[in-house]
Structures are given as structure tokens and as C-alpha cells.
Amino acid sequence: MVRVYVSSVIDAGADSVWARVRDFNGLPQWHPGIADSRIENSEPADKIGCVRHFHTRDGGTIRERLLALSDYEYSCTYAILDSPMGVENYVATLKLTPVTDGGRTFAEWSAEFDCDDERAAALSEQIGGGVFQGGFDALKRHFGGRR
């Protein structure tokens, strides 16, 4: 099993950052790598079990199921159902923690998945650097921070 973990500090309060990332269908509004998204079967975007179907800017199609969403813990967990990446048993969690010193947010994004051994390093870099850190960098820019 491959594990990927990325963390960052965003110069905005956790309530504000959560308001930006909470919408399971809202990736295109804040993540630069996502072109469009829709929730299948017209279900609410915060319904556990709903499936988002989205396209990446490089033309990939991905389907993910929402497994958990907590406004109290500022976290969401999801699983990839279909993806061109060649991963199996992929489960990821995005979690925010308030940093009381300065009204900032500690953001963590992690994933575990199975893949062919020879692809593990490249997929870890693609997911950790491109997807997770790319999303955090976009949030930092949005909230007026570095990157």
C-alpha cells in the first residue's frame, strides 16, 4: 500500500478555508487542475455516498465517492471509483485544523492506495505534488498568501 501525505499552512481562518473546500462538487472553483465537475444522479454534494464525476484539465475523467464529511472536524474523506491513474483501493482525506496563533489553518491531505510497484514513486509525486500541493498552493494564492 502506498501512502501520500502533504501538509501546509494557509493564511486564513479554518472557517473561511472550509467554506471554500467543503463543497464536494466545487473542485473547479478552487483547484487549478480540475476543469469541470458534476454530482451524479442530481444528489446533494454533501450527501454521504454521492459520486462526483469530473474532468482534469489534461483530459482525464475521474469518479469519486464521498465517504465522510464533517463540518465539526473540517474534514472530508473520499474514494476513487474510476480513474486513468491506475490506482486501486484509493481513499483520501482532506482535513483542516485551526491555528489559533494568527488565525491561520493547518491543512493536511493524505491518501492510501494500491498500484503496480514500478508506478508507486511516480504516482506518489503526481498525487502529492500535483494534486495535493497544487490545491494548497491555489488556496494560499486565493487567501493572499505565498505561492
Q: How many domains does the chain have?
A: 1
Is 62 a member of any domain? no
Is 19 a member of any domain? yes
Is 101 a member of any domain? yes
- Going residue by residue through the chain, which has 147 residues, state the pLDDT in tens, using 9 for 90 and above: 999 999 999 999 999 999 999 999 999 999 999 999 999 999 999 999 999 999 999 999 999 999 999 999 999 999 999 999 999 999 999 999 999 999 999 999 999 999 999 999 999 999 999 999 999 999 999 998 654
**Three-state SS letters, the chain:** CEEEEEEEEECCCHHHHHHHHCCCCCHHHHCCCEEEEEEHHHCCCCCCCCEEEEEECCCCEEEEEEEEEECCCCEEEEEEEECCCCCEEEEEEEEEEEECCCCEEEEEEEEEEECCHHHHHHHHHHHHHHHHHHHHHHHHHHCCCCC
Domain with 74 in it: 2-23+68-142
Is 31 a member of any domain? no
Is the whole-model pTM more than 0.85?
A: yes
The whole-number pLDDT of residue 23 equals 96
Is 57 a member of any domain? no
The whole-number pLDDT of residue 143 equals 93
- Domain CATH number, residue 88: 3.30.530.20
Is 88 a member of any domain? yes
The whole-number pLDDT of residue 47 equals 97
Is 18 a member of any domain? yes
Is 54 a member of any domain? no
